[in-house]
Amino acid sequence: MSPHQYIERETLDVKTEELYWDRVVGFCYSRMREHAPSLFKALTGRRISGMLGFLSYDLFIGSRLSGSAGFLKRSGIDLTECYEDHRTLTTPRKIFERKIKYWQCRPMSRDSSDVVSPADARMLMGSFRDTDMLFVKDKFFEYEKLFGARKDQWVDSFHDGDFAIFRLTPEKYHYNHVPVSGTVRDIYEINGAYHSCNPGAVVRIITPYSMNRRVVTIIDTDVAGGSSVGLVAMIEVAALMIGDIVQCYSRTRYDDPVAIQTGMFLEKGSPKSLYRPGSSTDILVFQKKRVDFAGDIVSNLSDHRVSNRFSNWFGGAFAETEVKVRSLIGKRKKKTGGRGFPN
């Protein structure tokens, strides 16, 4: 299969991603899907997906990788970031669910106008407006289905807005952090499949992110102490071998985690949830003309040095940028003369 490349933000270097289980995923999303659709459906269901996660992270692979310095080094995991003694990371599950000293190794600007990344991930962005240079329609998800059934209020609220996709690979830190400050207006879970977020699978299953199991959190930032960027939808999407999405908000470090409820005020940069374990995806959706994405990430999107499976799919450059949790990804759009936001 073709390689998948991305841009490292700090250096602007083009990197080639090591896609875990790439041959297996390629087989499942081509030959199995075509010739054994019932088996494919079972594979991407909750029960089999959870079983695969157990076998991969707790049993067979776990026994081979426990204490493997080679695996940790190849994955680029910096053990000095770990919050707890790294010698306790004795299985892949423990490695992938590790906590880090994010207050030291993932510093965050205190500028209230900043929107920050919810995860260590590879990021893409787009717009729902067909007049926008970032217009992307029905590739990664179907907009009307993304918010779930009987959620017309949110479908209408984010009409013609913008979005960002954050793809977490298996070796990444798997806590999600709050990208903005504001009050939770709604939080709910949508049942669905467990399709892989491997780029090869994404391009074969059109709009997978609106098919998968996911948790939707609507944050109102136009409140006292909020980020003032309107409503923001944070959508945490499960994937193949992800057993759970645990809501565990902590205002300070990882202390006293609580489940998120409607009416809670969430502080930007704080831990919000944990994927258990594997690869997964976050989606942020913003209201129309409330946020400007960071210029370097927008520029990277059309970098023709990059060859990846999304670019082949789109028929042109469409490059991901690797971002760190709590790093700047956008800013509140400035008002003009007190008369609203510019066209």
For 303-342, how does the pLDDT look when each residue is reduced to its tens digit (9 = 90+)? 999 988 777 666 777 899 999 999 999 999 987 543 333 3
With beta carbons less than 8 A apart as the criterion, state whether 220 and 266 touch: no
Q: 46 vs 24, 191, 202, CA distance in Å?
A: 18, 10, 18
Record the tokens describing residue 105, joined without a space.
Answer: 């190794």
Does residue 342 form part of some domain? no
Number of domains within the chain: 1
Does residue 335 form part of some domain? no
Position 238 confidence tier, pLDDT thresholds 50, 70, 90: confident
Does residue 301 form part of some domain? yes
pLDDT higher than threshold 60 for residue 61: no
Does residue 130 form part of some domain? yes
Does residue 339 form part of some domain? no
Cβ burial of 138 (10 Å; 0-12, 13-18, 19+) is exposed
d(CA 43, CA 37): 10
In single-letter form, the type of residue at position 194 comes to Y
Residue 72 belongs to what domain range? 5-330
Cβ burial of 92 (10 Å; 0-12, 13-18, 19+) is buried
Does residue 184 form part of some domain? yes
The model's pTM = 0.83
Averaged pLDDT score across all residues of the chain: 81
pLDDT digits (tens, 9 = 90+) for 141-192: 788 889 998 999 999 999 999 999 999 987 889 999 999 999 999 999 998 7
Does residue 266 form part of some domain? yes
Does residue 111 form part of some domain? yes
Q: Map residue 50 onto helix, strand or coil.
A: helix
